[in-house]
Amino acid sequence: MLSFTAIGLLLVALACLLIYAASPNQRLWAKPWPQWPARLTGAGLLIAGWLGLLQSMQPLAACFTLLTTLMLVFALLPYIGALAHAQRNT
């Protein structure tokens, strides 16, 4: 059961990365990724991550874990992008 949780969290984090990479204001890469393919893939990965979390948790706990992971990763990605941008420009 622990593997479903780890896989679900990994899929949610990867989905956040894809959605962030499609943003025009992202700083991780030199230019943003194509919007629709990255966002659709990210949405699919969010659903797959939620289904993975449902395998090891009750539905309410899976939703809470999904939303908490979304908040964490979406809050960290701009800082990681700023750090990567600063490293690239020095």
Query: What is the reported pTM?
Result: 0.91
Q: DSSP letters of the chain?
A: -HHHHHHHHHHHHHHHHHHHHTSTT--SSSSPPPHHHHHHHHHHHHHHHHHHHHHHS-HHHHHHHHHHHHHHHHHHHHHHHHHHHHHHH-
Report pLDDT digits (tens) over 33-67.
999 999 999 999 999 999 999 999 999 999 999 99
* pLDDT at 23 (0 to 100): 93
- Name the average pLDDT for the chain: 94
What average pLDDT does the segment 7-31 reach?
A: 94
* pLDDT at 88 (0 to 100): 86
* pLDDT at 89 (0 to 100): 86
